[in-house]
Amino acid sequence: MKNTFGNNITLTLFGEGQGPSAGIVIDGLTPGVEVNEDTIREFLAKRNPEPLLEEEKFEPDNFGIISGVFNGKATGAPLCIIVPIRDEDPADYDQLKNTPRPSHADYAAMKKYHNFQDYRNDGHFSGRITSALLAAGGILIPALQKKGITVESRIVKMGTSNNPLHFDSELLVAAANGDTIGGVVKTVINGVPAGLGEPWFDSLESLISHAVFSIGGVKGIEFGMGFAFADMTGTQANDSIRITEGKIVTSSNNNGGINGGISNGMPIVFKTAVKPSPSVEKEQSTVNLATGENVKIKLSVGNDPAIVRRVPPIIDVLAAHVITDALVSHYGTDYLL
């Protein structure tokens, strides 16, 4: 497994969906960066959207800092945070041992890890592991804010609707049918200075995409106008450059704040497509790998009708990490002080 991401400031994730805890190690963080436990707790709470259904799961926001913090500041040593995972009945997942669920990671994981993987509650692929990412966000995002950089993600499409007023109704209809819906999240990063990114293979778009695609359910990403560029002429697509109050800006931002893989000083804008959760409460076709027979499976565990609701804060954290890492690479470790 490749569970570590980053060049100067690295994030290492650990844990499994049915294990005792999820966790993260932040290594290379600037000594002296503030670590506020109340802020971490606030970020952990963001993973729980406002519940619309009685059976929706609410994950606790307990956590523990194991190392790397002294008197409320990062020491420079590896900073380790663990987030306890709520217990569930492992028997609920017994049927998954030999019958992979459609569109889950079950079968692919079986082949890669030779059936030694923990198949309960998605194992290391579980969305519960993202709680550890949010804990890290409670440190990284405030550090960026002190440098005038903000990251904000919001849902702009849910199911077939582009209207936020209709999002809840789309979700409720899907849930009533035992089904799920996907969506699109728009992210805007303001305040990033020009000059960040390392073409070819560590371009800013490459790094953000790499990080965002680690989120379960993410199946697409586009920067600026993205796929709409295919329908535009160069004249329409180009962002004219001008100077305003001594600052170089562009009249439009079709390229989403990045040219040649390098930030140009404009807001970095991208959209992320999130597929519907494959955990539907309907009978589906699969294979019993022990007997070699085609069989039907119906999940007995609760489903999340729209996992896209949980994704925006995770994108915020991963985008913040990429920007933080790029800043430290460009300006040096003490930039965050």
Q: How far apart are CA 196 and CA 263, in angstroms?
A: 5
User: For 267-308, what is each residue's pLDDT tens digit?
Assistant: 999 999 999 999 898 899 999 999 999 999 887 656 689 999
- Which pLDDT tens digits describe the chain residue by residue (337 residues)? 689 999 999 999 999 887 788 999 999 999 999 999 999 999 999 987 776 665 555 555 689 999 999 999 999 999 999 999 876 555 567 777 889 999 999 999 999 989 888 887 777 888 888 999 999 999 999 999 999 999 999 999 999 999 999 999 999 999 899 899 999 999 999 999 999 999 999 999 999 999 999 999 999 999 999 999 999 999 999 999 999 999 999 999 999 999 999 999 999 999 999 999 998 988 999 999 999 999 998 876 566 899 999 999 999 999 999 999 999 999 999 999 9
pTM of the model: 0.94
Q: In angstroms, rounded to a whole number, what is the distance separating the alpha carbons of residues 308 and 183?
A: 6
**Burial (CB count within 10 angstroms: exposed 0-12, middle 13-18, buried 19+), residue 324:** buried
Instruction: Give the CATH number for residue 134.
Output: 3.60.150.10
Query: Whole domain around residue 30: which residue ranges?
Result: 4-336
By CB atoms closer than 10 A (0-12, 13-18, 19+), residue 178 is middle
Closest Cα partner for 308 from 217, 196, 209?
217
Number of domains the chain contains = 1
d(CA 146, CA 272): 26
pLDDT at 300: 65
284 exposed, middle or buried (CB, 10 Å; 0-12, 13-18, 19+)?
middle
Burial readout 7-33 (b: 16 or more C-beta within 10 A, e: otherwise): ebbbbbbbbbbbbebbbbbbbbbbeeb
Residues 211-228 pLDDT 10s: 999 999 999 999 999 999
DSSP per position, 288-303? ETTTTEEEEE---S--
